[in-house]
Structure 1
Amino acid sequence: MMELQTAEAVLPAKEIHPFWYKLKKNPMTLAGLAVLAVIVLLSLAAPLITSFDPNKINVVERFQGPSAKHWFGTDEVGRDIFTRILYGTRLSLGIGVAIVVAAGAIGTVLGTVSGYLGGKIDQIMMRIMDMILAFPTLILAMAFAAALGPNLQNAMIAIAVVKIPVYVRLARGETLALREKLFVKAAVTFGIKPWRIIARHIVPNVVSPIVIQVTLDIGDAILLVATLGFLGLGAQPPTPEWGAMISVGWKYLLDYWWYPTFPGLALFLASGALNLIGDGIRDILDPKSGR
């Protein structure tokens, strides 16, 4: 009797919370979550951790090395690098998530509509997407950012635009398969309007692969934002953005190694953690995954 009760107590835990059960079996994903959680908590607690203003200039303390007062040293105008990294975390992570969510939402709508309606709309849409995909992502993002003007908002728009085709093609492919399902054909038979079929039957079934792609793309989006900032096409001084900090700091690498090193390390840890999380979520949500 005790064995039966124990078995019944264990099975519902796996059935009710399959996502968390599988997540606990993936140590690399848990490591990524732990690192990301620490980074996010530190950024949110920045006013409590440090009393420095991220943009306040103090020329007297310029190029101070790491110390008890300035944990990561100071930059060329005396600003505390640790403080700027903490506040830059909010900016970089927030921008990365916003870009990917916006691209995913727009791409999903365009892809489902294109795949369901088909015909000339589908052909025109896919040719436009093919044109965008024909260019390397970074090169096209640089071109759009340069054309729109060098600032953070335009960099976000540029990266979102080059990310949209990935979601359009993914959503379209899923829609083409769903369009042949019996429940969709039944909805058509009952005279339900196409936009309602797309909203109620197509989009909910496309969400899972879109979520997987979104989690995988956040880290890449953060790297692209930092790259454009490094090239002077993203965030402009004195904005505490990782790429912009590295862009200025690398010039002083030989004499003041801490300046570009710590922002680069923050970028590495955040993007690495997000990639681990994305890979883990893909393994959990993707039914074709072998794990």
Structure 2
Amino acid sequence: MKILDRAADLLISLLVKLITLVRRDWYAKNRARVEEWRLTLYALNRSPTGVAGLILSMGFVVVGIVGPFVAPYGYDQFLYLENPDLYLAPPGSYGMLLGTDIYGRDVLSLMLYGARVSLVISVVTIALGVPLGILLGLIAGYYGGKIDEAIMRVTDMFLAFPALVLALALAATLPQRIREALVENQAFAYAMAAIFGVKPDDAIHLAPLISIFTALIIVWWPTYARVVRGMVLVEREKTYVEAAKALGYSSWRIMTRHILPNIMSPVVVLITFDFASVNLLAAGLSFLGLGAQPPIVDWGSLINMGGSRFPTAWWLVFFPGVAIFLTALGWNLLGDALRDVFDPKFRRRIEFRV
């Protein structure tokens, strides 16, 4: 525990230093908030499932960032052309730790490249879809009336369609237009190639992956809009909101500076769970053939490749499946621990012990 607490103190200190580089007087005004962050990490350190989830989820993030740089082979190195024996070579043979695929490519390297793909899809989906849902939920819950009615009816339209079905429809129709945009806009193509860790010449093959996170963004925001709206309806009737109105604060400041911080704990927990959900749904779309296209791979496409050759090429199904399972497990364990940490009764017991 002491080692984890020291790591938490170091992380908080680094964060404070980074913020004070931009705003020098920030720490003096937010000392209590910094101590709250520190106590939150202390409480998380005392949850075995939370620590396990944090290790798994952060391991996934690290592998996703550095994976393409440390992969032994490139995703486009078809070793089968040089040595036909490398066709579906089992794990451990010819120096391939996790075996090879039907093109003689190293499965370990493909797994590392696939981690980058999964990380990009989950981060982009959460980073773009969640703020949209939070913003619409804030506006609907705070203003009410016709604005609330209009936003919620649009939300109901999206919620009426199963997320997977709507994502399938969008992921099947978007790639052609995205492919045209990649061909016409070289800057966009280079940017996408850098983000996914592939060669610029292969950027055109990223169209299905871009369509996946575009589809997921479109189907992901309604849940947050609904959840945030319900919490805002409760918060806007409380005394601190009435006091802020009496002081003449603008509606935007009340929503973002007063209401939003008080409803973020459940939203953060929901975001953590959704990292797992996005990974599973993205892998499912790739498994159905709507994701990565050769030579680019992700975990779902690897399972799709090995599915027709199972159990002969069991490693093409087993290793990506384990990676997906551990990633989803890590985010769910972390989310479950954060839900306990944000609970006031549990936090109070932790604070007394610390």
TM-score (norm 1): 0.87
Q: For 1:221, which of 260, 278, 302 is the aligned residue?
A: 278
- Answer yes or no: is the 8 Å Cα contact 2:129–2:217 preserved in 1: yes
Q: State the alpha-carbon separation in 2 of the partners of residues 157 and 50 from structure 1.
A: 28
Contact 1:237/1:244 (8 A) holds in 2: no
Q: CA RMSD in A?
A: 2.3
Q: 2:323 aligned to 241, 266, 279, which one?
A: 266
Q: Distance in 2 between matches of 1:113 and 1:289?
A: 32
Alignment partner, residue 3 of structure 1: none
Is residue 63 from structure 1 mapped to residue 120 from structure 2 by the alignment? no
1:232 counterpart = 2:289 = yes
* Structure-2 separation of matches of 1:43 and 1:100: 16
Maintained 8 Å contact 1:57/1:79? yes
For residues 91-119 of structure 1, give each alpha carbon's deviation from its aligned partner in whole angstroms, at most 9, with x where no partner exists. 21232122123221111111001111111
Deviating runs (4+, > 6 A) in structure 1? 288-291
Aligned to 1:91: 117
Match of 2:232 in 1: 175
Alignment CA distance shift 1:24-1:128 (3 Å): same
The share of aligned pairs that are identical, in percent, is: 41
Picking from 162, 177, 191, the partner of 2:219 is 162
Cα offset, 1:210, TM superposition:
1.3
Match of 2:165 among 136, 139, 142: 139
Offset of residue 45 of structure 1: 4.8
Within a 5 Å distance, the mapping from 1:187-198 to structure 2 comes to: 187-198=244-255
User: How far does residue 46 in structure 1 lie from its aligned partner after superposition?
Assistant: 3.9
Match of 2:50 in 1: 29
Distance in 1, matches of 2:36 and 2:143, equals 37
Worse-matched range after superposition: 20-29 or 238-247: 20-29
1:208 — aligned with what? 265
* TM-score, with length taken from structure 2: 0.72
Out of 119, 124, 148, the position equivalent to 1:122 is 148
Compared CA separation, residues 135 and 15, structure 1 to 2 (3 A):
closer
For 2:56, the aligned partner's letter is V
Question: Where in structure 2 are the equivalents of 1:31-50 lying within 5 Å?
Answer: 31-46=52-67, 50=71
Separation (CA, whole Å) in 1 of partners of 2:283 and 2:37: 40
Over 3 Å counting, the alpha-carbon distance change for 1:15 and 1:118 in structure 2 is closer
Pick closer, same or farther for the CA change 1:286–1:159 going to 2, 3 Å: farther
Q: Per the alignment, do residues 198 and 49 of structure 1 end up closer, same or farther by CA in structure 2, a change over 3 Å counting?
A: closer
1:134-178 CA distances to partner (integer Å, 9 max, x unpaired)? 222212221222232371111102112221111101111111111
The one-letter code of the counterpart of 1:75 is: D
Secondary structure at the counterpart of residue 100 of structure 2: coil
Q: Deviations 1:224-268 (Å, cap 9, x if unpaired)?
A: 111111112222222221111111221111321112221111111
Instruction: Report the CA distance shift for 1:44/1:134 in structure 2 as closer, same or farther (over 3 A).
Output: closer
Checking the alignment, whether the CA contact within 8 Å between 1:52 and 1:80 is kept in structure 2 is yes
Distance 1:19 1:99, change over 3 A: same
